[in-house]
Structure 1
Amino acid sequence: MFVLSILLLVAAVVLFLVGRGRDGSGWKIGAALSALGGLLFGVFSCVHVVSAYEVGVPVTFGKVGSPMKSGIQFKSPFTDVTSFSTRPVDLNLYDKDVVEVRSSEGGVLDADVTIKWAVMPSKAVELYRLAGSAEAVQARLVLPDSREIIRNVFAKHTSEEGYASAREQIGSEIAASIKERLAPRGIDVTAVNLRNVKPSKELQEQIDKKIQQEQATERSLEAARTAKAEAERKRIEAQGIADANRIIERSLSDKVLYNQCLEAYKEAAKANPVYAVPCGTDSNGTPVIVDNGKN
């Protein structure tokens, strides 16, 4: 715009000089209009409007100036202004951009992560020196640093912790590390969401095989415990029978047996036409049974 202003002023001077040596007011009007256009373009080249939610970084002949806030700002015609958006930006690391990480055991995992970040207006000059443009901030700073930190954090944990038991803790560690790394550079990380972690195909096969082995081992242990319990039950049962037999053997005296014999024949005589001579009447102690029904 400043170059156009100079050209219009030069054209105004030429038209004025040409018109002065000739009759007619057309040349003078053209010179006046060119001069007016040159002045307007010159004024516009000294004004820069910084949009809302943006910060401008002025650079004059290679020298970086102070950040420009939102609104109308005056500058030198030779100053270029690079704008940085201060709105939050989402960096989504999934699908083709998924982060491939390794656990402390060497297992490969795929981590889906979303990082929400924004430019700190007060640090815009430092970001310009580091990246050069708003588009380069994410490509040169946020993305590579985030990937490095995510891999480093997962490398401290086992595969099982990565996709199951310690996922929340790992997400907190990643968020804290990324914020600590990027804040001094002028990048405010507002949120880090570890959305999903899944084992690679090879690791999933190893996990399935390990689960099957553990299940087989558990079944074997359960069978061993059942057999041991059954053996113990039988041993206790046999011991009980042996103890009972010893008690009976000690308690069965002749008088007890004689009394039981009498009771048995009393019960038998009630239901059958027999009677019994008391036990122990012969030499062998065997009772004599008489069938009354045969006379």
Structure 2
Amino acid sequence: MFLIVLGVLIVIVGFAVSKQDNQVAAYGNIVKIVGVLMVVIGGLTSMFKVVDAGEVGVKTIFGKVDNDVLYSGLNVINPIAVVTPFDVKTQNYTMSGVTDEGSKAGDDALRVLSADGLEVVIDLSVLFRVKGSSAPMILKNIGTDYLAKIVRPIARTAIRDNAVAYDAVALYSSKRDEFQSRIFSTIEKAFNSRGLELQSLLIRNITLPASVKASIESKINAEQDAQKMTFVLQKERQEAERKRVEAQGIADYQKILSTGLSDKQLQYEAILTQREIATSPNTKIIIMGNGKGTPIILGDK
């Protein structure tokens, strides 16, 4: 485009030089030829436009947006058209409370009020892409700064509007997935009507007020202590049951001994024991009683 404009100016200068009555007029035709060549070269180079991979181009002629989209590759266009590129790859817009971590410098986390009136701080990432076919509409109605005009305000508004339906603790724990799904539906609907496609929504972190966090930690510690005590009581009950079974076994054994052994059986067992002692090489003298007492054994040790 620049060469075309420059060539036209040179041609005009050539005509002006040709009208002179001095020797300079002889160079007018040369100037006009140079200008025409620059116009031709500029036109040829401006007719071919390469659109990079992952992008689309939107043509504008004297401020009027053309609805035809240029896709990646080599395209032949009107030489005087201006092409505005749009990135159609997945883009990430992060709003974080950590400095230099989000898309905007500084603390950019969202501070919202929950249903119980507590302030909750939320870090969020929005993954989206520009619909290629909607690029002309975006350029016409929004412009190229759709991050600041569409993505950021819609995401922040959707979070604030949905957070008021949940208590702070529910947002942090049991209702987190449900909260994220509601935000996704709200943002997706708003994006679709503006030529953007929402691909994913990630709640990266939810920070509760210090007092609420301390209360939750205290509750968790109490639950852990209760679980520990339950374990100790269960162990004690098992130990008591073990001792009861052991005592019952001893009692049963003693009962069997007191009722199941007769005098003759005891005498027979004593005879067997004495026989083993008598045959032992360490035994020297055995003094037997009358059968009722215990024998006296005299040995070398």
Q: What residue is the counterpart of 2:61 in the other structure? A: 60
Q: CA deviation at 1:204?
A: 2.1
The one-letter amino acid of 1:55's match is V
Q: What residue is the counterpart of 1:178 in the other structure? A: 187
The answer on 1:139 being equivalent to 2:139 is no
Measure, in 2, the Cα distance between the counterparts of 1:173 and 1:64: 36
Q: CA deviation at 1:112?
A: 0.8
Q: CA deviation at 1:130?
A: 2.6
Q: CA deviation at 1:152?
A: 1.5
Q: What residue is the counterpart of 1:240 in the other structure? A: none
SS across alignment from 2:201: strand
The one-letter amino acid of 1:106's match is G
Measure, in 1, the Cα distance between the counterparts of 2:167 and 2:160: 13
Measure, in 2, the Cα distance between the counterparts of 1:140 and 1:109: 25
Measure, in 1, the Cα distance between the counterparts of 2:110 and 2:131: 26
Q: Which range moves more in the overlay, 62-71 or 146-155?
A: 62-71
CA shift in 2, pair 1:88/1:20, >3 Å? farther
CA shift in 2, pair 1:126/1:32, >3 Å? closer
Q: CA deviation at 1:210?
A: 7.9
The answer on 1:104 being equivalent to 2:115 is yes
Q: Is contact 1:14–1:31 with CA below 8 Å preserved after alignment?
A: no
Q: CA deviation at 1:52?
A: 2.1
Q: Deviations over 1:78-112 (max 9, x none)?
A: 43322211111110110211111111111111111
Which of these two proteins has the greater Rg computed from alpha carbons?
1
State which of 192, 199, 205 in structure 2 corresponds to 1:190. Answer: 199
State which of 103, 117, 129 in structure 1 corresponds to 2:140. Answer: 129
Measure, in 2, the Cα distance between the counterparts of 1:119 and 1:131: 12
SS across alignment from 1:140: helix
What is the TM-score normalised by the length of structure 1? 0.62
SS across alignment from 1:57: strand
Measure, in 1, the Cα distance between the counterparts of 2:220 and 2:36: 90
* Structure holding more helix per residue: 1
What is the TM-score normalised by the length of structure 2? 0.60
The one-letter amino acid of 2:141's match is L
Measure, in 2, the Cα distance between the counterparts of 1:49 and 1:22: 46
Q: Deviations over 1:94-142 (max 9, x none)?
A: 0211111111111111111111111000111221123111xx1110001
The one-letter amino acid of 2:214's match is D
CA shift in 2, pair 1:27/1:58, >3 Å? closer
State which of 112, 115, 118 in structure 1 corresponds to 2:126. Answer: 115
Q: Which range moves more in the overlay, 148-157 or 42-51?
A: 42-51
Q: CA deviation at 1:50?
A: 2.4
Query: For structure 1, which runs of at least 5 residues remain unmatched after alignment?
Result: 220-295
Q: What residue is the counterpart of 1:41 in the other structure? A: 42
Q: What residue is the counterpart of 2:210 in the other structure? A: 204
The one-letter amino acid of 2:39's match is G
SS across alignment from 1:197: strand
Measure, in 1, the Cα distance between the counterparts of 2:195 and 2:55: 14
Measure, in 1, the Cα distance between the counterparts of 2:220 and 2:77: 73
Measure, in 1, the Cα distance between the counterparts of 2:47 and 2:215: 71
Q: What residue is the counterpart of 1:271 in the other structure? A: none
Measure, in 1, the Cα distance between the counterparts of 2:71 and 2:108: 34
Q: CA deviation at 1:38?
A: 2.6
Q: Is contact 1:60–1:80 with CA below 8 Å preserved after alignment?
A: yes
The one-letter amino acid of 1:177's match is T
- Percent sequence identity is 24
Q: Is contact 2:54–2:87 with CA below 8 Å preserved after alignment?
A: yes
Q: Deviations over 1:44-94 (max 9, x none)?
A: 344433222211222223332122222333333443322211111110110
Measure, in 2, the Cα distance between the counterparts of 1:214 and 1:72: 62
Aligned length: 211
Q: CA deviation at 1:181?
A: 1.7
